[in-house]
Amino acid sequence: MERHSLGPSRALGQNFVVDPNTVRRIARLAGVGPGDHVVEIGAGLGSLTLALAETGATVTAVETDRHLIPVLAGVTADCAGVSLVHGDALELDWDEVLGGHLPWTLVANLPYNVATPLVLDLLADVPAITRMLVMVQKEAGERLAAGPGDPAYGIPSVKVAYRATARLVGRVGPDVFLPRPRVDSALVEIVRRDAPATDADPEVLLSLVERSFNQRRKMLRRSLAEMCTPEDFVAADISPESRPERLSIEDFGRLAHAVAARRRPTSGGDGANS
């Protein structure tokens, strides 16, 4: 950074990993190697990019900061199998970036300010990415991996569980970053399911999840009063006195099925001849 007269951008949430042991640990936990295709988002100055390249994997490194692209190009110039993409990961045409190869693994030190929406968007819209190992703020990581009954369980947890399984695989302290953040980080492994956890209507399912967690202190019979009848709870085998943090993705799926079935128009007519 000194050589190129650069500094971390607060607006872009840049915290660069400066410890080689940490990036090698991330690459090792990702379990990638020769023959694997890896996409890295927020490549920064290339420290994790180099560690991934050392495994023999083919790496596509994405960076949105135009000032860092020349630096990143210089750092990775001698690395076979590394290609660079300049663009915002929230706006990229992922079919174009990842076209021609399946499957992909995302390995990244994600900027804190976009980590959760980015992970959720990739799960929803980029099926070519089948595995992720991401470093995020500890609290965000706990939310992504939380299950029913966990203090961090909420809307992001359920959205992840709908399409994937997730678990915390490591913690990272602030000392390995420049600048040093005020919080710890977590490493989260996310593996896409072959099919969603429930075949319920996604629109109904998401509405139930968001409405209930937006009033998470209320019982479901109150927070979902405009969507669910007492009969819906009976059909789904869910207590209307429950609160949302006790419901699994499968529970929400059964409730969504009950709501959708009640809304479905009945067939038949008055028997009159045409």
Confidence of residue 46 (pLDDT cuts 50, 70, 90): very high
Output the pTM of the full model: 0.91
Q: What is the pLDDT of residue 29?
A: 97
pLDDT tens digits for 160-188? 999 999 999 999 999 988 778 889 999 99
Chain CA centroid to CA 129, Å:
11
Q: Is it the case that residue 274 has pLDDT exceeding 50? A: no
Q: What is the pLDDT of residue 182?
A: 87
How many C-beta atoms surround the C-beta of residue 214 within 10 A? 12
Is beta strand 104-109 parallel, antiparallel or unpaired with respect to 129-137? parallel
Q: Which two tokens stand for residue 73?
A: 């190009």
Query: Which region among 108-112, 161-165, 170-174, 229-233 has the lowest average model confidence (pLDDT)?
Result: 108-112
Contact indicator for 105, 132 with CB cutoff of 8 Å: yes
Domain architecture of the chain: domains with CATH: 16-192 (3.40.50.150), 202-263 (1.10.8.100)
Q: Which of 158, 156, 164, 224 is nearest to 191 (CA)?
A: 164
Q: Which residues contact 264 (CB under 8 A, 6 or more apart)?
A: none
Average pLDDT over residues 50-54: 96
